[in-house]
Amino acid sequence: MTITLLWTDMMVWLLVAALAVWGWILSRSPQIRKQWHSIFKSGIAMASAIVLLFYLFFALLDSVHMRFTVETHPGGGETSKSIHYEGDMVSLLDLLFKHTLSHTERTYSAPFATHEYAKSIVVDKNNVSRQVYLPLKYVHVPKGESVAGDIVKKSLFALFAGLLVSLLLIAVHLALKGRGTFVSKLNVLRRGETALPWRTAYVTFTLMLMTFVWMYLLSYHYHVLGTDKVGGDVFYQSVKSIRTGVLIGILTTLVMLPVSITLGISAGFFGGRIDDVIQYIYTTLNSIPGVLLIAGAVLVTQVMMDNHPQWFETTLERSDLRLLFLILILGMTSWTGLCRLLRAETLKISRVEFVTAARAFGVSKWKIIFRHIMPNLMHIILISVVLDFSALVLAEAVLSYVGVGVDPTMYSWGNMINQARLEMAREPMVWWSLFSAFIFMFILVLAANLFSDRVQTVLDPRNEE
């Protein structure tokens, strides 16, 4: 086995390392620590952060890819041994859901069903054709047990296991956090007298973990969210799609920020021809329909990839490169809004007293930008980042729905919705693929929006809090 990092994998882990270093640097500032402490004093913000960390965990778990080696002996001797790699790359998440990958059914089945969703024509021993619901290959109810009774029994065990694991992790965190005995800290937590709403965080964490453990353990015996047209497990597809949504939301922001900050501050601070040129650029970009511009760029990259098949050894590498191109395209086309905000705010800050005094004392322009302009723009940048995250997650779903998003072979909520479009017209209607993608995307976007509202409330200097 060898670890193989894709382009997006490397970008994700570099971003995680950069955020860790940035967080450590910012934690040394008492003022910034106080601001973030104020953000997490809200129970809604704390619960939203737990949900976002849950999604981020699965995205990171799916961002470690590996290829297993296969040994061959062409000459029959030990000295002639050569090592080859398997054709497909797998991630840690794929290994976690290995049982669902091997339990592929023939076609559609509803959540927790034991038979296929549509009737099939079979010929019995008397050569008589009949339409029947064929049983699923990998769903077996114990003899003498009803389906409902078996689901309830396995659900109680799974929920208890999830509760036990969550309580163990909470106890470890509580023991390592702060000073005092474990019993005293537990009493303070029970009374809700902690500086931060840890009780809300622990409840949210317990509910999230219990839900996942319940669905995961039952996926060994049932298709919890049903199967698609080719018999693939919808629960696995929904969890697998988390990486695509989170990566587009995070990495696109990473691409967009340097352009927005550089051009926005330059236009507002230097003015003159520099301001005119930058305004002309983002005005021209804004005059082009966004979907049309993205679609044209995606189609150009698709033609380039089709003309160079030697670039890819596996299908996953090809779909990952298209995801990288989509991230770059979205980043280069979505910087104009933040750039305009930063330009307007820079124009205002550059005329206040302390900036005028710095200019009068001969302080260089670059020192003024980094010491006076940038710190006073950080609240706008942070608010825009958390607000744009949810918009970019929804943008991926819309673009994949219209066929100019990620590669059709890549798992994403947009592709699931696109495939469910025709399934909704079937009779009987196949609804669970659309429902699963909607629920997973809805929870992520809702948590991001609630967290961004709190960030805006605390960091915006116009608010009293």
Which tens digit of pLDDT belongs to each residue from 115-147? 888 888 887 777 778 888 888 888 888 887 888
| In the predicted structure, residue 109 carries a pLDDT above the cut 80 | yes
Q: Are residues 279 and 179 in the same domain?
A: no
Q: Are residues 129 and 191 in the same domain?
A: no
What pLDDT shows up at residue 186? 85
| In the predicted structure, residue 68 carries a pLDDT above the cut 80 | no
Q: What is the largest CA-CA distance in the chain?
A: 102
Q: Are residues 134 and 278 in the same domain?
A: no
Q: What is the pTM of this model?
A: 0.87
* End-of-domain residue from the set 184, 218, 252: 218
* End-of-domain residue from the set 139, 157, 179: 139
Average pLDDT estimate for 39-45: 89
Does 370 map to a domain? yes
- Each residue's pLDDT tens digit, 357-412: 888 888 888 888 888 888 888 878 887 887 788 888 888 888 887 777 888 888 88
Report the alpha-carbon distance of residue 347 to residue 129 in Å, rounded.
Answer: 79
What pLDDT shows up at residue 241? 92
Does 248 map to a domain? yes
Does 4 map to a domain? no
What pLDDT shows up at residue 336? 87
| In the predicted structure, residue 439 carries a pLDDT above the cut 90 | yes
Average pLDDT estimate for 279-291: 84
What pLDDT shows up at residue 462? 60
CA distances from 120 to 133, 248, 427 (A): 6, 41, 14
* End-of-domain residue from the set 87, 122, 139: 139
What percentage of the chain exceeds 70 in pLDDT? 95
Does 174 map to a domain? yes
CATH number at residue 251: 1.10.3720.10
Q: Is residue 200 within a helix (H) or strand (E), and if so which, with residue range?
A: helix 198-218
| In the predicted structure, residue 421 carries a pLDDT above the cut 70 | yes
Q: Are residues 253 and 120 in the same domain?
A: no
CA contacts within 13 A on the Cβ side of 94: 14
Q: Are residues 251 and 388 in the same domain?
A: yes
Domains held by the chain: number? 3
Does 298 map to a domain? yes
Q: Are residues 202 and 245 in the same domain?
A: no
Q: Are residues 437 and 452 in the same domain?
A: yes
Does 394 map to a domain? yes
Q: Are residues 152 and 128 in the same domain?
A: no
Q: Are residues 123 and 150 in the same domain?
A: no
Neighbours of 304 (CB within 10 A): 12
- Each residue's pLDDT tens digit, 155-213: 999 999 999 999 999 999 888 887 778 888 888 888 888 888 999 999 999 999 999 99
Query: pLDDT category, 83, cuts 50, 70, 90?
Result: low
- Residue 113 domain boundaries: 107-139
Kindly report which listed range (5-14, 341-350, 424-433) carries the lowest average pLDDT score. Answer: 424-433
Kindly report which listed range (72-76, 143-147, 251-255, 325-329) carries the lowest average pLDDT score. Answer: 72-76
Q: Are residues 253 and 170 in the same domain?
A: no
Pair 118, 429: CB distance under 8 Å? no
Does 30 map to a domain? no
Q: Are residues 263 and 352 in the same domain?
A: yes
What pLDDT shows up at residue 32? 79
Does 56 map to a domain? no
Report the alpha-carbon distance of residue 128 to residue 163 in Å, rounded.
Answer: 52
Q: Are residues 327 and 337 in the same domain?
A: yes
